[in-house]
Chains A and B, each alone.
Chain A
Amino acid sequence: MSRDGFDLALSIGGAAGQGIATPGNILARIIVRRGLHFNAYNAYQSIIRGGHIFLTIRVSDRPVHTHGDKIDLLVCLNQDTMDRHLRVMGSGTRVVFNSDTIKADDAGDGVQLCPLPVSDLTENNRNKLIQNTVALGAMTSLLGLDFAVLEDGLTLALQRKGQAVVDENLGVARNGFEYARDRFEPFANAMPMGPKPLAVWSGNEALAMGGAAAGVKFYSAYPMSPATGVLHWMAKNGRELGIMVRQVEDEIAVANMTIGAAYTGCRAMCATSGGGFALMTEAIGSAAMMEIPAVFINVQRAGPSTGVPTKTEQGDLWQVLGASQGDFERFIVAPRNALDAFNTIPELFNLCEKYQCPGIVLSDLLISEGTFSVDPDDIDMGPKIDRGELITEPSTTNGYKRFLDTETGISPRALPGLEGYVHVVATDEQDEDGRLISDEFTNPHKRRQMVEKRARKFGQAVGLIAAPQLEGPPEADVTLIGFGSTWAPITEAIELLRQAGITANHLNVKWIVPLHAGVIVDILSRSKRTIVVENNYSGQFYRYLRSETGLDVDGHIRKFDGEPFMPHHIVDGVQEIIAGKTDRYVPVHELTV
């Protein structure tokens, strides 16, 4: 355990179909009911049966931003997991496994092997998933918890399957618990109690809830990993919350339906991953041209093309920067974690409606499919809602101009159905009153006027978004620069660097467009040494930063193997770069997942 207080990571590995999710969910519930924080990352593959699934849950009495650097408790549901991971287990760790089917050899010094004779403990139960319950019992003992804690958790999780199932599992779990209690030494620090129960969510659920809180009335989607979780939340909760949720034929339809619904006054949102986003891009440009506010979420996975559907990457930055032909205004924002993602959606809707343009959210698999504890008091389901200049009262006078060229560039918006404001919006260039310029009035003066009108309204937008701030000591040896989800591993790496005698601070850029370029120049020009940390090969964020600020940096830490940064990867990179060994460090991912 790397910090004061309680900080423990447990991992459960097996094949798809071996039921890792259920013990994971039960443990998550137990953790938050005790008031503890957790951060869970599931390394998985695009496969329904077989392969290797590796769930890591890091638990702490303080908020934890990553799944950490190491594993304290490994549960192997198959031999493959043992073969892959036993070698990384260090002194003081525990390894739980079914000794009927799994062999352990060559454990490192100080690794406590905890073999469980599952057949004996389950009276030869033929259910292949029963070993998970035995393991849960043993884990409960190793974590220093009373059996009653697991009893509550199991009962809660299984009660809808009937009392017989609950009783069977409780009996087996108790056998596992008692077997482990009598033979294996628990961790020195028992899992403590926190001050109050916490809640559980994934980043995708946070995005969906952010939409619900923002007043989203229309959500459509085509299933695509790792964004599908947003659809699942919306589908489950939409009817109760008055949200129209539709799964449709492709992402082209998704984006265009979103725009259709948004034109009628709905707050409308959709989420996909890079491939689906590629199909949406023409529509995003049309939202800009028709000045229709809508939110498009890209949950990045490793690309290009189908890429690695179940792995993370920050490789779509230039895709969203260049999304759709032409030169137009759009917001692009990359939240740093699930709570930030939740809070970003209502803020983005307010901005998009004020400036009547599309907004793009860049999430990634790490944020979206990660599962996290969250303090329920931090979730504001009633955020501020600002619809911008929206006309709501009918009129008897004619002469409404949908694209009126105002001083601010913002033209008051009327919704169809309202008397006195009939107009046409077009994907062609158009006049102030919506007449099609390309067909009737191909007029360079009017074209210039409309381009400048749309650009002018966006010119003020940067003043309404928060400027990036330097986190950590201003006088540091090194400034780490990142965007989006790297906030978490960088934040933890800075603490580890401090322990290693290197002071570092952190510039996380959340709002990509518009960009507070001046503020960034101001901050970075005072930095002693600058390193960009990003989850892609070519340095997409670095290249964007340089193009917008003219600044160069001193080093790069990049990772593009599909797995997220672990804090120590960044620590290693900073040390190598400071030592002058390289200016571009690519960590090796030690876990074979």
Chain B
Amino acid sequence: MAVAATDRRDPAQLSPKDFKGNVDPDWCVGCGDFGVLRSLQKACAELGLRPHEILTVSGIGCSSNLPGYFNSYGMHTLHGRALAVATGAKLGNHELTVIATGGDGDGYGIGGNHFAHTARRNVDLTYLVMNNQIYGLTTGQISPTSRVGMKTKSTPFGSVEQPSNPLTTAIMNGATFVARGFAGDPKQLTELIKRAIQHEGFALIDVFSPCVTYNHDNDFPFFKERVKRLEDEGHDPSDWKAACEKAMVWGDTIYTGLFFETSETPTLHKLEPVLDEGGALGRRSLGLTREQGEQVIKRMM
């Protein structure tokens, strides 16, 4: 959502530490998710957001534990359902900054249906996917983004399936902000998160967040050798075809950065007249007026 700087406190008053949750992460030492959490904390502090104005919503998986480690309102929901819950919450209180987090299995596998439809609806939320190309919490099986040939406990002879491409999927389904970050580049990631939060509409950031325990194919060195920032390549994020081309590149070069952004599609809550006035639905008084009640009954006569 758009953040008006004027009605915020001085950003200097809040530091990333203020967004530290009451529990320390139980991620493995060296996990990429630490970097994502730190970038999110930094981004929120720099945007001048306050914890009670933010709602983080996650599914299930290592990365979905993030709301517990982040100081804001949070919902740690069912496996794959973060976007559905987040959509309901955003429509219930569109004044909240809603940030959905999770992993590749949670978002692109079991939650794939909601991923496509949330993008299409252009719900105003930021979706941070910590993509480690593996199922970590279940001790190492292939995920929808695992490469062909990857050997895991569920594919001891190597995966034969093509991986899905979350970026082109998001673009094709109508997402209005599509980016990729890397946990090893916190500076770029923080900027991407800030832009995603400020973007009005569905903003996906697929983040390479290596699993140091179960994925030895796609580790930090693998990405460090390959990632190239799109901003250094003169990429135009308004060009969806170029965005798709860049997103399809996978080899010695893998791009990170903002692939695609458009402000031409209105976000869902702006299209629904019920929200035109009266503030957040969840804060409105309940019950109908006498006139509304009478009108309903009159139509039945």
> How far, in Å, is A470 (CB) from chain B's closest CB?
33
Q: Residue of A at shortest CB range from B95?
A: A417
Partner of A266, one of B67, B72, B281, B288: B281
The answer to whether the Cβ of A263 comes within 8 Å of any Cβ in the partner chain is yes
Contacts of A201 in B (CB 8 A): 300
The answer to whether the Cβ of A209 comes within 8 Å of any Cβ in the partner chain is yes
A200 to B301, CA, bound (A): 6
Contacts of B117 in A (CB 8 A): 248-249, 253
Partner of A424, one of B50, B52, B74, B285: B74
Contact B52 A417 (CB under 8 A): yes
Instruction: Type the 1/0 row for A387-399, where 1 means its CB is closer than 8 Å to any CB of B.
Output: 1000000000000
Partner of B114, one of A237, A253, A282, A419: A253
Query: Which parts of A408-442 form the interface with B (CB within 8 Å)?
Result: 415-428, 433-436, 439-440
A474 to B127, CA, bound (A): 63
Instruction: Type the 1/0 row for B270-301, where 1 means its CB is closer than 8 Å to any CB of A.
Output: 00111100101111111110101111110011
Contact A418 B52 (CB under 8 A): yes
Contacts of B75 in A (CB 8 A): 260, 263, 290, 424-426
Contacts of A422 in B (CB 8 A): 51-52, 71-73
Contact B52 A32 (CB under 8 A): no
Contacts of A200 in B (CB 8 A): 300-301
The answer to whether the Cβ of A212 comes within 8 Å of any Cβ in the partner chain is yes
| Interface 9-mer from A66-74, A313-321, A376-384, A514-522 | A376-384
The answer to whether the Cβ of B128 comes within 8 Å of any Cβ in the partner chain is no
The answer to whether the Cβ of A55 comes within 8 Å of any Cβ in the partner chain is no
Contacts of A218 in B (CB 8 A): 88, 91-92, 281
Q: Residue of B at shortest CB range from A267?
A: B286
> How far, in Å, is B111 (CB) from chain A's closest CB?
9
Contacts of A417 in B (CB 8 A): 52-53, 73, 93, 95-96, 280, 282-283
Instruction: Type the 1/0 row for A214-237, where 1 means its CB is closer than 8 Å to any CB of B.
Output: 110110100000000000000001
Query: Which parts of B9-34 form the interface with A (CB within 8 Å)?
Result: 21-23, 26
A379 to B285, CA, bound (A): 21
Instruction: Say whether chain A's binding surface is mostly helix, strand, loop, or mixed.
Output: mixed
Contacts of A420 in B (CB 8 A): 52
Contact A423 B73 (CB under 8 A): yes
Say yes or no: A257-B96 contact (C-beta < 8 A), given A382-B293, A385-B286, A439-B65: no
A417 to B5, CA, bound (A): 18
Contact A260 B274 (CB under 8 A): no
Contact A238 B88 (CB under 8 A): no
Contact B287 A268 (CB under 8 A): no
Instruction: Type the 1/0 row for A247-280, where 1 means its CB is closer than 8 Å to any CB of B.
Output: 0111011001111111111111000000000000
Contact A440 B26 (CB under 8 A): yes
Contacts of A104 in B (CB 8 A): none
A32 to B68, CA, bound (A): 58
Contact B77 A427 (CB under 8 A): yes
Contact B52 A376 (CB under 8 A): no
Name which of B22, B76, B95, B278 has the most chain A CB atoms within 10 A of its CB. B76
The answer to whether the Cβ of A246 comes within 8 Å of any Cβ in the partner chain is yes
Q: Residue of A at shortest CB range from B283?
A: A265
Contact A242 B274 (CB under 8 A): yes
Contacts of A240 in B (CB 8 A): 292, 295
| Interface 9-mer from B78-86, B226-234, B236-244 | B78-86
A335 to B290, CA, bound (A): 26
Q: Residue of A at shortest CB range from B277?
A: A242
Partner of A416, one of B22, B89, B91: B89
Contacts of A198 in B (CB 8 A): 301
Contact A426 B91 (CB under 8 A): no
Instruction: Type the 1/0 row for B43-54, where 1 means its CB is closer than 8 Å to any CB of A.
Output: 000000011110
Say yes or no: A252-B81 contact (C-beta < 8 A), given A424-B75, A436-B65: yes
Query: Given known contacts A415-B282, A416-B96, A417-B96, what 11 new A-B pairs fall within 8 Å (CB)?
Result: A199-B300, A213-B288, A220-B88, A252-B114, A257-B91, A268-B88, A416-B73, A422-B73, A423-B74, A424-B67, A424-B68
Q: Can you spell out 28 A-B residue pairs with CB atoms less than 8 angstroms apart? A: A199-B297, A201-B300, A213-B293, A217-B284, A220-B88, A244-B275, A248-B117, A250-B113, A256-B78, A257-B84, A260-B85, A260-B92, A262-B88, A262-B92, A263-B89, A266-B281, A266-B282, A268-B92, A374-B300, A417-B96, A419-B50, A420-B52, A424-B75, A426-B67, A426-B75, A433-B22, A435-B22, A439-B26
Q: Which residues of A contact B (CB under 8 A)?
A: 32-33, 197-201, 205, 209, 212-215, 217-218, 220, 237-244, 246, 248-250, 252-253, 256-268, 282-283, 286, 290, 374, 376, 379, 381-382, 385, 387, 415-428, 433-436, 439-440
Q: Which residues of B contact A (CB under 8 A)?
A: 21-23, 26, 50-53, 55-57, 60, 65, 67-68, 71-78, 81, 84-93, 95-96, 113-114, 116-117, 272-275, 278, 280-288, 290, 292-297, 300-301
* Interface pairs A-B: 6 shortest CB-CB: A215-B286, A260-B88, A381-B293, A265-B282, A264-B92, A257-B88
